[in-house]
C-alpha cells in the first residue's frame, strides 16, 4: 500500500479529484472503483485481497507544496451483502522523499 505505484494507480483511476491547499501542503481527495484497482498493475495484488466485492476506494493524499507525498489515507468499501458494507482503513506516512543524499554502490 505504501508503494509509489499505489499513489499513481489511485490518481489515474479516479474520475474526479478534489484539491485544496494550505500554507504547507496540497490535499487531494477522490474515489476510485475497486475493480479497476484490482484489475492489474503492480499494486493489484493488494486490492485483490479484498475479493470481487471491493466496490470503491476513497482516499486522501497529502503532499508537500513541491508535490512529494506526506500521507495517504485509504478507506476500502467491501459490499458483503445488500445493506452490509465493511470498511478497511489504512494510513501511510511518508518521510524524507526527495531529500538529497549520497548513493553508493553496494559492491
Q: How does DSSP assign 13-75, residue by residue?
A: T-S-EEEEE-SSEEEEEEEEEHHHHHHSSTTHHHHHTT-TTEEEEEEEEEEETTS-EEEEEEE
Query: 84-93 and 69-81 as β-strands: parallel, antiparallel, unpaired?
Result: antiparallel
**CA–CA separation, 24 vs 49, rounded Å?**
35
pLDDT at 54: 87
Chain segment 9-52, per-residue pLDDT in tens:
999 999 999 999 999 999 999 999 998 999 988 999 999 988 88
> Is the full-model pTM beyond 0.85?
no
What is the CA angle 96-97-98, rounded to 5?
110
**CA–CA separation, 75 vs 68, rounded Å?**
21
Mean pLDDT, residues 77-87 taken together:
88
Going 64 to 65 to 67 to 68, the CA torsion angle's sign is negative
pLDDT band at 92 (very low <50, low <70, confident <90, very high): very high
**CA–CA separation, 5 vs 88, rounded Å?**
20
Average of per-residue pLDDT values in the chain: 89
Amino acid at each position: 500500500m505504501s508503494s509509489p505505484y499505489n499513489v499513481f494507480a489511485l490518481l489515474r483511476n479516479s474520475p474526479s479529484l478534489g484539491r485544496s491547499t494550505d500554507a504547507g501542503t496540497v490535499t487531494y481527495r477522490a474515489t476510485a472503483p475497486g475493480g479497476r484497482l484490482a484489475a492489474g498493475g503492480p499494486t493489484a495484488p493488494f486490492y485483490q485481497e479484498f475479493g470481487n466485492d471491493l466496490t470503491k476506494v476513497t482516499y486522501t493524499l497529502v503532499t508537500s507544496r513541491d508535490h512529494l507525498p506526506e500521507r495517504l489515507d485509504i478507506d476500502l468499501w467491501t459490499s458483503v451483502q445488500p445493506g452490509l458494507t465493511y470498511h478497511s482503513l489504512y494510513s501511510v506516512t511518508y518521510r524524507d522523499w526527495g531529500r538529497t543524499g549520497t548513493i553508493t554502490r553496494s559492491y
